[in-house]
Structure 1
Amino acid sequence: MDRAEERLAHLPPLPQPFTAESLAAALAEQRGRAIIMRPLLAAGPGLPCGLWLAFPTWDLVCYAADGSALLREQIKLHELAHMICDHRGDLDDTALAAMLPGCSPRLVRRKLGAQRVSALGRTSYTNAQEQEAEMLATFIAERAAEEPLRADRLLISLADRRPPRRREETP
């Protein structure tokens, strides 16, 4: 069993109905820290499509605003997976300036109350943390999809056992 599968095995039951936002709310409660989710305003080559910023008392998850709903959901789950895995990274002033054009990194840090901002942003999947987060995000999405499908299968099964209606019985 690899690390992502291990982490999935130790996760509590996923919230139902499941969305990345419902998972974020459950994680925020468990961790005792607010998690705010917002679309990224800047997009382009070399910039991350998803980003997790960990401030001293709260977390910010940013995701690409373009792309399909499924892609946005996967990006959000990927960033939440970084939290679950307790991954760490530091956002230097150059990267912060690139993501927040026109803003002084020093001013941003002062306004946010953080001298150091822990950040992970994905532009590729070349390092172990990115690969683990993507695997865990995929496993979470698969597990979340299983529960409603089981209920749907039961309803379909029960519906299939009803005798067919005759034409004269239909209203």
Structure 2
Amino acid sequence: MSASFREIRRRCEAMASSLPLPQPFDARTLCRRVARRRGRPITLNPMNGGDSGVLGLWVATDQADMLFYEATTTPPHQEHIILHELSHVLCDHYPARLSANELTRLLMPNLDPAMVERILGRTTYGAVEEQEAELLASLIRQRAQREAAPDRETTDVADRINAVFDWPKPRHD
């Protein structure tokens, strides 16, 4: 029996509100804090997904969680990918195992496939896990924005678009 979206949202909201968000917000700092809290290292690794279509990946080894993110996209998009993959870690998702050949092809030739216990790629997990990770990543970002400017309610469409692309705010002279 699958969880309803309402249950998933409630679970994600509780998780997002319990995270030790840094101020100013930075996804990399959040990863370090989560790693400390879990007692397990999290490494961030830029990758070039190229034609594979893979933008982010979570690889869990016996010693650490490795988050891979697309290196050739914008910094705000990289941050969202990192938050998405971190959300898979936080939700403790378990995907199907990949073969050693698939691991080598997807990751890098110098990574020993024998050390990998589990792996997450955007195309290998179910819709519920994808929704949960995407929702949690978005809720983390929303909380960070609220805490950064608690007195400001963003209603201006241009401000929201600029925030998504990390562009400077327009001047209203």
**What amino acid is the match of 2:132?**
E
C-alpha spacing 1:37/1:30, structure 2 compared with 1 (3 Å) = same
Q: Following superposition of structure 1 onto structure 2, how do residues 92-131 of structure 1 map, counting pairs within 5 Å?
A: 92-100=99-107, 103=109, 108-110=112-114, 114=115, 116-123=116-123, 127-131=127-131
Say whether 1:146 aligns with 2:151. no
Residue of 77, 81, 87 corresponding to 2:83: 77
Of residues 31, 51, 55 in structure 2, which corresponds to 1:49? Answer: 55
Partner of 1:135: 135
Q: For each residue in 1:58-100, what CA deviation from the matched residue of structure 2 results, as whole angstroms up to 9, or x when unmatched?
A: 1110000112111111000000000110101223223212214
The answer on whether the counterparts of 1:51 and 1:63 sit within 8 Å (CA) in structure 2 is yes
Q: Which residue of 1 aligns with 2:167?
A: none
| Aligned residue in 2 for 1:166 | none
Q: 1:125 to 1:142 in 2, by over 3 A?
A: farther
Any unmatched runs of 5+ in structure 2? Answer: 1-5, 153-173
- Equivalent pair of 1:5/1:139 in contact (CA under 8 Å): no
Q: State whether residues 88 and 118 of structure 1, in contact with CA within 8 Å, keep that contact through their aligned partners in structure 2.
A: yes
- The structure-2 alpha-carbon separation of the partners of 1:109 and 1:5, relative to structure 1 and needing over 3 Å to count, comes to same
TM-fit CA distance, 1:23: 1.1
CA distance in 1, matches of 2:66, 2:50: 17
Distance 1:52 1:36 in 2: 10
Q: Deviation string for 1:12-70 (max 9, x for gaps)?
A: 342222111111011101110111101113422x4410001011121110000112111
Aligned residue-pair number: 144
Gaps of 5+ in 1: 154-171
CA RMSD of aligned residues (A): 2.3
1:63 is the counterpart of 2:69: yes
Cα pair 2:21 2:144 within 8 Å, conserved? yes
Select the residue among 13, 27, 34 that pairs with 1:8: 13
TM-score with structure 2 length normalisation?
A: 0.73
Quote the Cα distance in structure 1 between the aligned partners of 2:72 and 2:124: 17
The runs of at least 4 consecutive aligned structure 1 residues that moved more than 4 Å come to none
